[in-house]
């Protein structure tokens, strides 16, 4: 390790140690530096995941941000990242592959006023024309590149006016369509309905199962980990967001719910057996049709080879699994919910693709002259 990264590790270790009682600080500094050297662990990961209290196997098998970036540069290369990260592009990529997803009604993008298309709109009149023509009465509106449930609005009714529409939010609040349309791109898609079983956990949100999947060069795919995000009463999204949520591990083999927790923020986590609002039993419950849902999601991964290690947010419906979102650079929190790390599985997938000799990664583009001086000329 270079002198510079050594100094940086010590600096971060000291900042991190400030969060612990004085009696523990020397131990934390030593422990963090050794984990940083071994696996590039960030101080946030150390603190959030409680590395000082974790088992040896968790500490060893945890996949942190830096190591994840390294593997995903090859597996989910940046050149394809918008295919998953941009929710409009993801819809387009999933269409016609036989992967069930919500129906895309309309793509709003201010520049789309220059394009002539039945699905794209660049202004209020265009959005109204599309939604009316399709007879849309309810929908979900999302910004195309948000995450963690920010900017996802579930609209339960649309009252069309002459030159605007009144949108009734799932909690009864009204807003004008015109006030939603700004400079950010949006998608309007159908509201997905989950099974009775998933609704019984919490009815106000669609509670998605995160499937971590890996694709191999021989075309086979497998499910690495599964867990469910469950919303709190009155929230329309299942993510923790500002209101917290409930998270459970699902045993990949059996479909049994385990390790349910109430998550009110890092270090505000409580083991639970039942949902705190609905009272529904969680631990021990078996997800219905687990084997067929899993087989379908494996097929999804095979049909989406641009991301070879994908994180799927899947709604379980009466018609089978429906993709709510596919993530190319998934968060690490799932390892906290399932209580084990997934480093070995992701690394194994990386090594399998690496062995093919194909290079899917994109390095920074090299310029023939000194980059900084060149860029300064163009300011």
Ligand X SMILES: Nc1ncnc2c1ncn2[C@@H]1O[C@H](COP(=O)(O)OP(=O)(O)O)[C@@H](O)[C@H]1O
Residues lying near Mg ion in the complex (CB under 5 A) are found at 313, 325
* Helix, coil or strand: residue 222: strand
> Which residue's CB is nearer to Mg ion, number 41 or number 212?
212
Minimum CB–partner distance for residue 363 and ligand X (Å): 28
- Token couple for 304: 């989406």
Q: Does 212 bind ligand X (CB under 6 A)?
A: no
Minimum CB–partner distance for residue 147 and Mg ion (Å): 7
Among 13, 106, 158, 192, binds ligand X (CB under 6 A): 192
Residue 72: phi, psi to the nearest 5?
Answer: -75, -20
> Which residue's CB is nearer to ligand X, number 51 or number 109?
109
| Buried/exposed code over 347-365 (b: 16+ C-beta within 10 A; e: otherwise) | bebbebbbeeeeebeeeee
Minimum CB–partner distance for residue 186 and ligand X (Å): 12
Q: Does 237 bind ligand X (CB under 6 A)?
A: yes
> Which residue's CB is nearer to ligand X, number 9 or number 131?
131
Residue 40 Cα distances to 64, 65, 70, angstroms:
7, 8, 11
Minimum CB–partner distance for residue 3 and ligand X (Å): 40
Q: Does 191 bind ligand X (CB under 6 A)?
A: yes
Distance CA 277, CA 262 (A): 11
C-beta atoms surrounding 303 within 10 Å: 15
C-beta atoms surrounding 47 within 10 Å: 18
Q: Does 247 bind ligand X (CB under 6 A)?
A: no
If we measure between CA atoms, which residue out of 3, 36, 267 comes closest to residue 15?
A: 36
Among 146, 163, 220, 254, binds ligand X (CB under 6 A): 146
- What does 149 bind: ligand X, Mg ion, none (CB cut-off 5 to 8 Å by kind)? ligand X
Q: What contacts 274, CB < 8 A, 6 or more positions away?
A: 260, 280, 281, 282
> Which residue's CB is nearer to ligand X, number 100 or number 361?
100
Q: Does 324 bind ligand X (CB under 6 A)?
A: yes
> Which residue's CB is nearer to ligand X, number 190 or number 283?
190
Contact stretch for ligand X (CB under 6 A) within 49-57, 107-115, 205-213, 292-300: 205-213
Contact stretch for ligand X (CB under 6 A) within 68-76, 177-185, 186-194, 366-374: 186-194
> What is the length of the chain?
379
Minimum CB–partner distance for residue 87 and ligand X (Å): 6
Distance CA 279, CA 273 (A): 9
Which 293-322 residues touch ligand X, going by CB under 6 A? Answer: 313
- What does 191 bind: Mg ion, ligand X, none (CB cut-off 5 to 8 Å by kind)? ligand X
Which 55-114 residues touch ligand X, going by CB under 6 A? Answer: 102
Among 148, 161, 166, 176, binds ligand X (CB under 6 A): 148
Among 239, 278, 301, 335, binds ligand X (CB under 6 A): 239
Long-range CB contact pairs, 36-39, < 8 A, 24+: 36/9, 36/12, 37/1, 37/9, 39/64, 39/66, 39/67
- Strands (DSSP E) contained in 235-319 are 245-250, 257-263, 269-271, 309-317
Q: What contacts 88, CB < 8 A, 6 or more positions away?
A: 104, 107, 109, 144, 185, 187
* Helix, coil or strand: residue 112: helix
> Which residue's CB is nearer to ligand X, number 70 or number 329?
329
Q: Which residues bind ligand X (CB under 6 A)?
A: 102, 140, 142, 146-150, 152, 154, 189, 191-192, 205-206, 208, 237-239, 313, 324-325
């Amino acid at each position: 390790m270079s002198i510079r990264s050594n100094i940086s590790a010590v600096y971060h270790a000291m900042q991190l140690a400030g969060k612990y009682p004085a009696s523990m600080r020397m131990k934390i500094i030593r422990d963090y530096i050794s984990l940083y050297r071994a696996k590039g662990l960030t101080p946030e990961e150390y603190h959030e995941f409680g590395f000082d209290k974790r088992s040896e196997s968790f500490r060893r098998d945890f996949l942190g941000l830096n190591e994840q970036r390294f593997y995903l540069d090859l597996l989910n290369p940046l050149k394809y990242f918008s295919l998953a990260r941009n929710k409009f592009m993801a819809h387009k990529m999933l269409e016609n592959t036989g992967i069930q997803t919500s129906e895309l009604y309309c793509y709003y993008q201010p520049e789309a006023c220059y394009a002539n298309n039945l699905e794209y709109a660049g202004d209020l009149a265009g959005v109204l024309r599309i939604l009316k023509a399709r007879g849309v009465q309810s929908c979900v509106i999302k910004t195309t590149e948000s995450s963690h449930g920010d900017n996802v609005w579930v609209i339960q009714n649309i009252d069309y006016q002459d030159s605007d529409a009144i949108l009734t939010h799932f909690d009864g609040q009204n807003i004008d369509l015109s006030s939603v349309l700004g400079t950010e791109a949006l998608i309007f898609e159908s509201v997905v309905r989950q099974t009775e079983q998933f609704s019984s956990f919490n009815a106000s949100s669609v509670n998605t199962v995160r499937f971590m999947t890996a694709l191999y060069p021989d075309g086979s795919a497998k499910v690495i980990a599964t867990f469910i995000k469950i919303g709190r009463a009155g929230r329309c999204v299942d993510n923790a967001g500002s209101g917290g949520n409930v998270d459970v591990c699902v045993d990949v083999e059996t479909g049994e719910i385990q390790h349910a927790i109430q998550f009110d923020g890092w270090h505000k986590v409580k083991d639970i057996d039942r949902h705190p609002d609905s009272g529904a039993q969680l631990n021990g419950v078996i997800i219905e049709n687990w084997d067929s849902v899993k087989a379908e999601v494996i097929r999804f991964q095979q049909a989406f080879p641009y991301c070879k290690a994908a994180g799927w947010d899947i709604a379980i419906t009466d018609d089978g699994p429906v993709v709510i979102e596919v993530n190319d650079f998934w968060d690490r929190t799932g390892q906290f919910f399932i209580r084990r790390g997934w480093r070995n599985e992701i690394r194994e997938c990386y090594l399998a693709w690496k062995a093919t000799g194909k290079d899917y990664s994109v390095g920074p583009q090299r310029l023939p002259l000194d980059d900084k001086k060149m860029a300064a000329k163009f300011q």
